[in-house]
């Protein structure tokens, strides 16, 4: 892998786009021509273009070639970290407290969200995540017991459900929603904040092929924000 080479070529091409040599909407030279011009392999040009496509600067079509986008299409990327890692990365000491844990028959909305049979059993888990002993986020999680039977006896006082599940079912797919909600009684108490406080909320549902594993709602303490670069 000739790392430096494909990065320098990528930035050279980026410069030619932003300086207007190839205008918005214009076709760019083919990979073979670019490889010849830069005296490198097509692999290298390919890697350079890949990143520019991800950045939303160019559009690559299978037969049609590569075109400069009319309007760059920006993508914000967030690493969804394990909460312990997020807190530790910010310099805090992580701890957690299981506030509620019960196996029960899935209520209707969970049955439908996890595509369960009627009567299927789930584990419901409330966890308070703390940074330096202060509430950081409150998690309301439901786990499909059939998908992860070990969850019933897992030691969630030692390892968080998040980390435990990532180890059990590491390659699941997921759906993520970001929103804002008003703290209800449970969230307000868990996060030591007032009823109705605005909480940044991340909901996630994960599955492996057609088996739904878990759905979770994570409410962060007031003032929290998630940051990334474009």
Smallest gap from residue 63 Cβ to its own copies (A): 9
Binding residues for its own copies, rule CB under 8 A, total 62
Asked if residue 198 binds its own copies (CB under 8 A), the reply is yes
**Contact mark string toward its own copies, 58..77, x via CB under 8 A:** --x-x--------xxxxxxx
In sequence order, the 6+-apart residues with CB closer than 8 A to the CB of 183 are 191, 193, 194, 195, 196, 197, 198, 199, 219, 222
Nearest-angstrom CA–CA distance, 183 and 190: 10
Residue 90 CA from chain centroid, whole number: 18
Smallest gap from residue 134 Cβ to its own copies (A): 18
Instruction: Give the pair of three-digit tokens for residue 114.
Output: 């996890």
Q: Which residue has the tokens 């000739």?
A: 2
In sequence order, the 6+-apart residues with CB closer than 8 A to the CB of 20 are none
Out of 32, 182, 184, 192, name the contact with its own copies by CB under 8 A: 182
3-state SS class at 132: coil
Asked if residue 43 binds its own copies (CB under 8 A), the reply is yes
Residue 24 CA from chain centroid, whole number: 31
Smallest gap from residue 222 Cβ to its own copies (A): 8
Nearest-angstrom CA–CA distance, 126 and 187: 10
Asked if residue 196 binds its own copies (CB under 8 A), the reply is yes
Asked if residue 189 binds its own copies (CB under 8 A), the reply is no
Asked if residue 47 binds its own copies (CB under 8 A), the reply is yes
Asked if residue 152 binds its own copies (CB under 8 A), the reply is no
Report the interface residues with its own copies, using CB under 8 A: 1, 3, 17-18, 24, 31, 41-43, 46-47, 50, 54, 56-57, 60, 62, 71-82, 163, 166-167, 170-171, 173-182, 196-201, 203-204, 206, 222-230
């Amino acid at each position: 892998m000739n790392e430096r080479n494909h990065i320098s070529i990528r930035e050279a091409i980026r410069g030619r786009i932003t300086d207007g040599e190839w205008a918005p909407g214009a076709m760019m030279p083919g990979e073979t021509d670019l490889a010849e011009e830069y005296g490198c392999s097509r692999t290298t040009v390919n890697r350079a273009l890949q990143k520019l496509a991800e950045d939303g600067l160019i559009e690559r079509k299978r037969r049609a070639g590569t075109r400069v986008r009319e309007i760059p299409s920006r993508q914000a990327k967030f690493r969804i970290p394990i909460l312990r890692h997020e807190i530790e990365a910010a310099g805090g000491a992580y701890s957690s407290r299981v506030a509620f844990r019960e196996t029960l028959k899935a209520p209707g909305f969970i049955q439908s969200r996890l595509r369960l049979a009627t009567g299927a059993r789930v584990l419901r888990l409330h966890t308070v995540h703390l940074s330096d002993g202060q509430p950081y986020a409150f998690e309301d999680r439901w786990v499909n017991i059939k998908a992860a039977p070990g969850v019933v006896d897992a030691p969630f006082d030692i390892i968080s459900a998040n980390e435990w599940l990532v180890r059990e079912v590491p390659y699941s797919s997921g759906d993520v929603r970001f929103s804002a909600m008003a703290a209800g009684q449970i969230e307000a108490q868990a996060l030591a904040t007032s009823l109705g406080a605005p909480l940044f909320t991340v909901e996630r549902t994960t599955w492996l092929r057609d088996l739904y594993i878990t759905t979770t709602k994570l409410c962060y303490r007031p003032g929290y924000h998630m940051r990334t670069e474009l």
